Amino acid sequence: MAAMSLLLRAAAAWGARRAASGAAGGFRLPWLAGAARLPGTVAPVRHSSGHGKRMFIIKATSFYDTRFLNLLRFYIFLTGIPVALFITYVNIFIGESELAEIPEGYIPDYWEYYKHPISRWIARYFLDPPEKNYEKEMALLDVEAKKTEMRLMELEARRLMRHRGDGPWYHYETPDKNLIDNSMKSTPDN
């Protein structure tokens, strides 16, 4: 960018010098009618009416930026517009439900506790009833509570059987006492 502006300035200076030498030599280039100027300066020059001199304006590229914004808009609107139209249709023609007291003896289904029709639809066809979730959590807690209780009872039983020695656990195999050879203790003079 800096090199570009330096190049521009060098080109302008060269053009000015050429125009100045041309003016001194007498032959005027038709498009520099007037004194030699830097590009962009105003001079009384005859051009096509209304538009002014056509300039080749040098600026940084906006190709990538516009391409990105175009693609962004395209992909957002690709699904955004159908979804917005669908939601508008639902809101206008189906409408939200009204709050009412629960009639006597009637148990509403779990999706009838929502107001917006799309929330009701999602709750009805995709989500589980909250009672099911509640029962699942309680079942998990129940299983874990029973496991805890079993483990504590097992530890207590182990402790007691080891201590008292009268239970089926903590039996260590010892050889039969009839196999012991008592011959070396049998006479007092061995």
User: Which residue among 95, 129, 165, 167 contacts other proteins (CB under 8 A)?
Assistant: 95
What the block records as the tokens of 50 is: 């209304």
Q: What is the nearest approach in angstroms of other proteins to the Cβ of residue 161? A: 24
| CA–CA distance, 190 with 173 (Å, rounded to integer) | 31
Query: Could you tell me which of 111, 115, 116 has the C-alpha nearest to residue 91?
Result: 116
Q: What is the nearest approach in angstroms of other proteins to the Cβ of residue 147? A: 11
Q: What is the nearest approach in angstroms of other proteins to the Cβ of residue 4? A: 55
Interaction between residue 156 and other proteins (CB under 8 A): no
Interaction between residue 116 and other proteins (CB under 8 A): yes
Interaction between residue 101 and other proteins (CB under 8 A): yes
Interaction between residue 23 and other proteins (CB under 8 A): no
User: Which residue among 21, 66, 97, 133 contacts other proteins (CB under 8 A)?
Assistant: 97
Note the maximum CA span of the chain.
154
CB 158 within 8 A of CB 169: yes
Residues 133-152 that bind other proteins (CB under 8 A): 134, 137-138, 141-142, 144-145, 149
Q: What is the nearest approach in angstroms of other proteins to the Cβ of residue 166? A: 29
| CA–CA distance, 190 with 186 (Å, rounded to integer) | 8
Q: Is 105 exposed, middle or buried (0-12, 13-18, 19+ CB in 10 A)?
A: exposed
The C-alpha R_g of the chain, in whole angstroms, comes to 49
Which residues of the shown chain bind other proteins in the complex (CB under 8 A)? Answer: 91-102, 108, 112-116, 120, 134, 137-138, 141-142, 144-145, 149
